[in-house]
Amino acid sequence: MHRGMHLDRERCVHAVQSKDARFDGWFFTAVLTTRIYCRPSCPVVPPKPENMTFYPSAAACQQAGFRACKRCRPDTSPGSPEWNQRADLVARAMRLIADGVVDREGVPGLAARLGYSTRQVERQLLAELGAGPLALARAQRARTARLLIETTPLPMAEIAFAAGFSSIRTFNDTVREVFALSPSDLRSRAPRSGTGTGTPGALTLRLPFRAPLEPSNLFGHLAATAVPGVEEWRDGAYRRTLRLPYGHGIVALAPRPDHIACRLTLSDLRDLTVAISRCRRMLDLDADPVAVDDRLRADPLLAPLVDKAPGRRVPRTVDEAEFAVRAVLGQQVSTAAARTHAARLVTAHGKPLDDPEGGLTHLFPSPEALAGVDPGTLAMPRTRRTTFTTLVSRLAAGTLHLGVEADWAESRARLLELPGFGPWTVDVIAMRALGDPDAFLPTDLGVRRAAAELGLPSTPAALTARAASWRPWRAYAVQYLWATDTHPINHLPA
């Protein structure tokens, strides 16, 4: 699979005729006779090849006048893996659009965050995706509206504004145009089970992913490193608090065979799209596990690890600044000690909140709150206090960017300039906060121990040379290497 796959007509036709779900989200099939667009795995009888045309995005299909299929619901397919494995302008723009920036700040705000002109951003998105930022954001609003219509009893007026529409009329017109049904008809056709529950603001959702997905290291890592008050494992689900643009939220995420069960409680429903996007990013749900595993399986020493538990994901984060702070707190200490340090910061400087369904108590402190911490109150060596205070001051001042708009190479360079930031800290932030799928940790003790046991080179330089064949998926190779250990990060909690 590769960029511009929708241009490879023969391959797309074959994927549609074989109903291959691996290609869902990579491209969309528009049927010229019915004016409907589908995901490649649509269960209906495939149209004749001469009646198929292919688009790189749902927004491009909608802009060309096609309506979403009511059977396969292409708007609910996993997102394209492209945006999580690239750091160019288009990928960064797509991550920002998914994070709701166009709805909150408009196209000029999107361009300003990327450091390009509005015209340049629009031109590149149109060239690669067949749609500009407004059309892409509109398609996302339509997806959010459908989700709220089908899973909540909210009045349509509230749904319209929660989904990001500027008026009820625009909401009604968009839903009819995209889904060929009115909002009321969409609600009447929706299944009644699994909808919102009694807790105010709570939503129960299904987050799709590309199979296979191995949940042990993904949820095990999040649970084993959970900061008390901010994260917890409860009743078979990872729960955590979320700081969001309009308010805050609490999410519970639990692995299921064919989806991730997601329960969201939001103080402001306008944050729904952002919350879903950040949870998908944290769980790496838009990854292409087949492409990753095929590359790693080509190494005979990694192949048994991949075959034993294919589909490992990289556990990431919902808050890049938070993760960077926690990476510093975890330098040269145990997982338990890092959690203790973080919990003290949360209690002293985090924003309190209520959690009727569990034991969460705070939002993790923002960089602005941490910038005011007295270094003398930090129970860590003086050099690490300097590392901590420098990091949070740069984050608070906006001179260091680690969000979805970040340029990976530039962020790495800026991190390396900070006192106390060596290759391990920078690469673990690149892996889990920036989302670089090729970040590698050759000096990590767990990686070196696994390498020695497998017969791989154990010195950092030699291991890095051997790992060249694993590119661009070295971050996933790290997950397979870590999994050879009995550490709690590799296992679902009992």
* pLDDT tens digits, one per residue of 425-459: 999 999 999 999 999 999 999 999 999 999 999 89
- The pLDDT of 199-205, averaged and rounded, is 76
Q: Name the average pLDDT for the chain.
A: 92
**Structural fold of domain 206-490:** Endonuclease III; domain 1 (1.10.340)
- Give the pLDDT of residue 375: 86
- The pLDDT of 328-348, averaged and rounded, is 91
Burial 307-346 (b: 16+ CB within 10 A, else e): eebbbbbbbbbbbbbbbbbbbbbbbeeeeeebbebbbbbb
| pLDDT tens figures, 394-412 | 999 999 999 999 999 999 9
- Give the pLDDT of residue 378: 84
- Give the pLDDT of residue 5: 75
Indicate the pTM of the whole model.
0.91
Q: Which residues pair with 232 in a beta bridge?
A: 239
Please say if the pLDDT value at position 196 is more than 50. no
Interatomic CA distance for residues 98 and 144, integer angstroms:
11
Interatomic CA distance for residues 302 and 288, integer angstroms:
18
- The pLDDT of 196-216, averaged and rounded, is 81
Which parts of 150-201 are beta strand (E)? Answer: none
Among residues 12, 24, 38, 75, which one is catalytic? 38
pLDDT over 70 for what percent of the chain? 97
- Give the pLDDT of residue 153: 87
- Which residues lie below 8 Å from residue 300, measured CB to CB, with a gap of 6+? none
Whether 38 is catalytic: yes
In the chain, ranges of CATH 3.40.10.10 domains: 5-76
Please say if the pLDDT value at position 194 is more than 50. no
Name the burial class of residue 351, with classes exposed (0-12), middle (13-18) and buried (19+) by CB atoms within 10 angstroms of its CB. middle
Burial 54-75 (b: 16+ CB within 10 A, else e): bbbbbbbbbbeebbbbeebbbb
Name the burial class of residue 376, with classes exposed (0-12), middle (13-18) and buried (19+) by CB atoms within 10 angstroms of its CB. exposed
In the chain, ranges of CATH 1.10.340.30 domains: 206-490
CB 43 within 8 A of CB 49: no
pLDDT over 90 for what percent of the chain? 82
| pLDDT tens figures, 241-296 | 999 999 999 999 999 999 999 999 999 999 999 999 999 999 999 999 999 999 99
| pLDDT tens figures, 119-132 | 999 999 999 999 99
Among residues 103, 286, 436, 444, which one is catalytic? 444
Is the CATH code 1.10.10.60 the one for domain 82-151+154-189?
yes
Please say if the pLDDT value at position 3 is more than 70. no
Please say if the pLDDT value at position 106 is more than 90. yes
**Structural fold of domain 5-76:** DNA Methylphosphotriester Repair Domain (3.40.10)
CB 223 within 8 A of CB 238: yes
